[in-house]
A = this chain, B = another copy of it.
């Protein structure tokens, strides 16, 4: 017999509903139904819709932040490899979580105060990652291997290229979908292109 995990079921259902419809579009009744529990259970475990939502959003923001750190965090590789690997791993993460960036970006936009608590820790982690990369960029530039560039500029190039196609897929598909046979292949092509773009940007 399965010892049913009501709280877990609610979280799973809530994640799905909130990611798909956002806070305003999500209905607690719909979450309860998907979780296979009665409506009152949401309030028993999470008090309010807002608190349940905060739990999901916090998880997702943290996941999105970590994805960048782990993708680019391997400091054993030589810089160019580290960047290529980073782009590739970050892109793979997005293929596993295609709706994540839109969800986070939207909810932060519609209620910025939700982001306040994370601002500082996010900023600190990102800076520490980028500081290491900046050193290596500077070293290679010194040797004349690459052009000099601010790591923040470069990282924003990378993230723009990687994330945008996922956020905008439904809108761009009619125009750019013809590039590939299917969605999967389309994204594989983008991954390769993004690496190419970034290498062109920094190589001399």
Contacts and interface: CB of A to CB of B under 8 A. Distances in A.
Contact of A200 (B104, B127, B172, B200): B200
Contacts of A102: 105-106, 109
A170 B200 CA distance: 29
A142 interface: no
Contacts of A123: 174-175
Interface stretch (A35-43, A75-83, A88-96, A190-198): A190-198
A108 B170 contact: yes
User: Which secondary structure dominates where chain A touches chain B?
Assistant: helix
Nearest to A127: B175
B172 A156 contact: yes
A160 B164 contact: yes
A190 B159 CA distance: 13
Given A24-B22, A126-B175, A105 B160 contact: no
Q: Among A123, A126, A155, A157, find the residue whose CB has the most chain B CB atoms closer than 10 A.
A: A157
Interface residues of A, number: 50
A154 to B, nearest CB: 9
Q: Among A21, A174, A189, find the residue whose CB has the most chain B CB atoms closer than 10 A.
A: A174
Q: Among A25, A115, A164, A200, find the residue whose CB has the most chain B CB atoms closer than 10 A.
A: A164
A174 B108 contact: no
A152 interface: yes
A108 to B, nearest CB: 5
By Cβ-Cβ distance, the 8 closest A-B pairs, closest first, are: A160-B164, A24-B24, A24-B25, A119-B174, A126-B175, A123-B174, A164-B164, A200-B200
